[in-house]
Amino acid sequence: MSGLDASAHPCLRCGACCAHYRVSLHWSEAAPELGGQVPPELTEPLRQHERVMRGTSHGQPRCIALDAQIGVYSRCTIHALRPAVCAALTASWEFGEASHQCDRARIAHGLPPLTPADWPAR
Ligand code: SF4
Ligand code: SF4
Instruction: Dump pLDDT digits (tens) for 55-67.
Output: 999 899 999 999 9
Decide if 37 is inside a domain. Answer: yes
Domain annotation covers residue 3: no
- Asked whether residue 4 is domain-assigned, the answer is no
Ligand 2 nearest atom to the CA of residue 64, by list position:
6
Q: Is 63 in the pocket of ligand 2 (CB under 6 A)?
A: yes
The overall longest dimension of the chain from CA atoms, in Å, is: 45
- How many domains would you assign to the chain? 1
With the most atoms of ligand 2 within 8 angstroms of its CB, the residue from 53, 62, 64, 109 to mutate is 53
Of 108, 106, 65, 58, nearest to 85 (Cα)? 65
Would the CB of 78 count as within 6 Å of ligand 2? yes
Decide if 1 is inside a domain: no
CA pair distance 64, 49, nearest whole angstrom: 21
From the CA of 12, which ligand is nearest?
1
Domain containing 99 equals 10-118
- The per-residue pLDDT for 2 is 46
Q: From the CA of 63, which ligand is nearest?
A: 2
Intra-chain end-to-end CA distance of the chain, in Å: 23
Euclidean distance between CA atoms 28 and 116, whole angstroms: 36
pLDDT at 120: 74
Residue 72 lies in a domain: yes
Determine the pLDDT at residue 8.
84
Give me the residues paired with residue 118 across strands. none
CB of 105 within 6 A of ligand 2: the answer is: no
Name the residue with the closest Cα to ligand 1, atom 3: 11
Asked if pLDDT for residue 88 goes beyond 50, the answer is yes
Residue 24 lies in a domain: yes
* Residue 79 covered by a domain: yes
Instruction: Please list the residues that pair with 73 across neighbouring strands.
Output: 69
